Amino acid sequence: MTSATAIAHPNIALIKYWGKADETLSLPATGSLSMTLDVFPTRTTVTVDDTARDTLQLNGRAATEGELARVTKFLDLVRELAGDTRPAAVVSENTVPTGAGLASSASGFAALATAAAATYGLDLDTRDLSRLARRGSGSASRSIPGGVAIWHAGDDAASFSETVAAPPLAMVIATVDAGEKPISSREAMRRTIATSPFFPAWIPSTAASLELMVAACAAGDVTRIGELTESNALRMHAVIQGSEPPIRYLTAASTRVFDAVAGMRAHGLEAYATADAGPNVVVLTRPEDAAAVAATLTAEAGIAEPVIALPGPGAYLVDG
């Protein structure tokens, strides 16, 4: 029996990935940049035993056929690279609220890639592991390195993630709705590309924002990092809302959080809002201001239990 266990954390993009240039290789239309969080870890064990077929257990329950099919497709890739055809038993404990737009697929596939590579005997460095994780879910690539990570656009060899230098940052997660999102990001990306008249503008706009963001990170300019973060998130939602039929992830409760964040800035508290493919809002701020931001979110936007996150580690192997 061969087995390996890995832990990975979710990441929240400051410059978003929205749209693929190549679906098969999971190559993004543009580069993106995120902060890996130190909360909501996923722990995944991959065991090659004498099971007849792949099995998947998620948070103590048997996975659906759809969930299993996505994992088998990913394991097939690992098996092809390893020259090994044996099925695996996968057990994953995911503490991210599933489907709530907090990128559970990022920590999930980062942990799976790390554990599966070790189990099947692939010796991959961070760059190649991030390329592998990308094939499971694009944003998973950015959960392989720790801290603030850039995921490069490019061909299969060039589209990897790596840590970039950045000033101290914190995020405050405002969960407004922990339920399933109405449409998966994968499906919504397809519809955006096929139907949103704004998509052609999104690509150069995001590429330009990414360059400015990398420069702001290098300069340690938290204000500029925050401004670019909020602007890029709103642009992503504008592009998505331009799809036909329209897709709208932000709700009235999300908007209340954006308003509360603007109110904080008006009172001199540096805070900037972002949101992924769901209604929840994540607020970027300085670590020393995170508690004040969380308290204001509760007081002004009715957020019951805001979660404060600092930059988290990259994916790593642990003893089973």
- Binding residues (CB under 6 A) for ligand DP6: these are 13, 16-18, 26, 32, 103, 105, 137-139, 185-186, 276-277
Indicate the residue among 17 and 258 with the shorter CB distance to ligand DP6: 17
**Least distance from ligand DP6 to the Cβ atom of residue 184, Å:** 8
Which tokens sit at 8? 């990975």
The distance of closest approach from Cβ of residue 27 to ligand DP6 in the complex, given in angstroms and rounded to an integer, is: 10
Question: In angstroms, how far is the first alpha carbon of the chain from the final one?
Answer: 13
Amino acid identity, position 179: G
Q: Find tokens 């805070």 and name the residue.
A: 271
The nearer residue to ligand DP6, 278 or 306, going by C-beta atoms, is 278
Q: How many Cβ atoms sit within 10 Å of the Cβ of residue 67?
A: 14
Which CB, 59 or 73, lies closer to ligand DP6? Answer: 73
- What is the C-alpha separation between 190 and 132, in angstroms, rounded? 22
Phi, psi of 20 (to 5 degrees): -105, 145
- The least CB distance from residue 276 to ligand DP6, in Å, is 4
For ligand DP6, the closer CB: 32 or 36: 32
Residue with the CB atom nearest ligand DP6 in the bound state: 138
Tokens representing residue 57 in the block = 């257990």
Distance between CA atoms of residues 104 and 227, nearest Å: 26
CA angle 249, 163, 158 (to 5 degrees): 85
The least distance separating ligand DP6 from the CB of residue 267, rounded to whole angstroms, comes to 29
CB closer to ligand DP6, 73 vs 262: 73
* Cα–Cα distance measured from residue 6 to residue 112, given in angstroms and rounded to the nearest whole number: 7
Q: How far is the CB of 135 from ligand DP6 (least distance, A)?
A: 9
